[in-house]
Structures are given as structure tokens and as C-alpha cells.
Structure 1
Amino acid sequence: MTPAAPNATAVKFGYPESLVAGYRHWLVLARPQQPTLGSLVLLCTDPARSFSQISPAAFAELEQVTADIEAALKAAFQPDKLNYLMLMMVDPDVHFHVLPRYEQPRQFNGCDFGDSFWPKPVDLTQPAMNEPAMLVEIREDLRRHWPRRGG
């Protein structure tokens, strides 16, 4: 599917380099700051500044997008939980931070990734992994695990 047009929030979170998957109304981006392994940004491309303002089509598509996110993260990193945070305190476009949560560390690409916040909420103000080469590997691994639709 052709990715939807980016907005300022998409660009802030590294679009187009960070793109994992694009939908008609949503972009799924690998979060440049990884507080937990496989952290994503789920961004609506509708011109909406509150969740209630997104189009009925975006609401409908959200069901498929979240199912794909959960399938890909489960296949790639086996998180114990997923947190969807819609904060929108700084970036006004409708978006969620999707944070996989891990009770025990995971290994990926020869490195151990822990979840130092478990079982409490993730503190997005704390330093997070942002090594460019590792971010590319995380994004590519998620792309490989993304559910394929259609023929």
C-alpha cells in the first residue's frame, strides 16, 4: 500500500527513513529513541489535532494497523505487553507511542535489551538507545516481520 502523506510530526520522528509500514491514513515509524526494543510511533496522517477529529475511515483502518503492529512485534521481539500512549503534549498531530514491554531482557543483533521501567510506565524523558546502525536493524527486522496482505 502506498504510504500516506507525512505531516510535521512524521518528519520529526524520522520519516521517511523510519518508515516501517504505510497505510491510507496511518504511518508506522520506528521510534528514533528506543526506550524499549521495537518502540514505534503510530501516526495518523489526517489533518486532525485530537483523536475525535480523525476521519471515520482512519478509525476503521486503525483496527488493521494495530493488528499488524501486534503481529509484527510478537514475531520479531515477543514482548510481554504493549503500551499505546497518546500524549500529544509537544507534537500536535494525532499519534501514539507504541512501546513493547519486557519482563526479561531480549537479545537482538548481538545485544541485550532490557526494560528498566518494568512493570511501571515508561519514562520517555529518560535516555534511550538511539544508535543509528541499530535503529536501521530494528526497522528492517520489523519490516521483515510485517504481515503481508493481498496478493
Structure 2
Amino acid sequence: MMVDFREKFNIPELTMFETEYWIWSLRPHQATIGAGILSLKRECASFSDLNPEEHCDLNTIIKVIEKTLKNVFEYDIMNYLMLMMVDKQVHYHVIPRYEHPVEAFNEIWHDSAWPGLPNLAGVKLEASKLTSISMLIKNQIIS
């Protein structure tokens, strides 16, 4: 299960930061600029199966995510969605939300669903664009 999950979300190539228990990677389908996947490193299909150390470490990585994305893209609010309907692995879709358009990489990025539920389908970007976005974020990590 973990191999398929990591492949689906291209985690090895798009990892931006990791802690002892969690990995933050760029989401291949950008619901909004900077959208990511926050996933537990070990195989686990139920949130209630997390141990205390993993819960504590979740707090640590969320602080890194929020500080970093605030610095890089100035999001307005952060959405964390734990759906797990298809991918039975503990993970969150991390969706920064923007009231106003964001200019990055010579493009204007719109949060088309603001202020409603995010459009998770997002846009599947070319590998080079995903790499550029992930490197921008990775190079400005605030831990």
C-alpha cells in the first residue's frame, strides 16, 4: 500500500520537508498554488492508530508548513482535508486558500472556489513546474 501511495503522489520527487514521522510533499494536482500532501511515514489506515509521538510530531510539521507557506505565498487560510476514501493511508491534503490571485512563476494563480470548498481536482502540472514550485518552497523552509 505504501509503495502505491508514494508513487501516486510522487512523494520521492516532490518532498519538501520531513520530520521523524511525517512527510510534506507538493501535491501533483495543484488545487491552489502550494497545495501539498502531509503523510505519515509508516503504513497506517486509521487516524486512531497514531501513537503519541506521531501526534506530537504532527504539531511540529504543521507549524513548519504554515510558517513556510505564509512566507512564500501569503495564503489567507489553510485547509487540511483528511479524506482517505481512495488512499487508505493516514494523510492530509494541505490546501492553502487565497482570497486574491497570487502571482508566481510568471502566472496568475486563482483560488477559483474561494470561499467555498476547494476544488481538489486542481491542475495537473508538468514535472518541471512541480519541481520549480517544490524547490521554491523547500528553499524557504521555516522550521
Aligning the two structures, in what range does the TM-score lie when normalised by the shorter sequence?
Answer: over 0.9
Q: CA deviation at 1:47?
A: 2.6
Q: Supply the distance in 2 between the matched residues of 1:94 and 1:7 (Cα, whole angstroms).
A: 14
Match for residue 91 of structure 2 among 90, 95, 104: 95
Q: CA deviation at 1:8?
A: 3.3
Contact 2:18 2:61 in 1 (8 A): no
Q: CA deviation at 1:129?
A: 4.3
Aligned positions, number: 142
Moved over 6 A (4+): none
> What SS does the corresponding residue of 2:78 show, helix, strand or coil?
strand
Q: Does 1:41 align with 2:37?
A: yes
Q: Which has the higher helix share?
A: 2
Match for residue 142 of structure 2 among 134, 143, 147: 147
Q: Does 1:52 align with 2:40?
A: no
Match for residue 122 of structure 1 among 99, 118, 125: 118
TM-score relative to the length of structure 1: 0.89
Q: Supply the distance in 2 between the matched residues of 1:111 and 1:129 (Cα, whole angstroms).
A: 15
Q: CA RMSD in A?
A: 1.3
Stretches of structure 1 that go unaligned for 5 or more consecutive residues are: 1-5
TM-score relative to the length of structure 2: 0.93
Q: Supply the distance in 2 between the matched residues of 1:111 and 1:122 (Cα, whole angstroms).
A: 20
| Higher RCO (CA-CA < 8 Å; seq separation 6+) | 2
> What SS does the corresponding residue of 1:76 show, helix, strand or coil?
helix
Q: Supply the distance in 2 between the matched residues of 1:139 and 1:12 (Cα, whole angstroms).
A: 17
Contact 2:112 2:119 in 1 (8 A): no
Equivalent AA in structure 2 for residue 96 of structure 1: Y
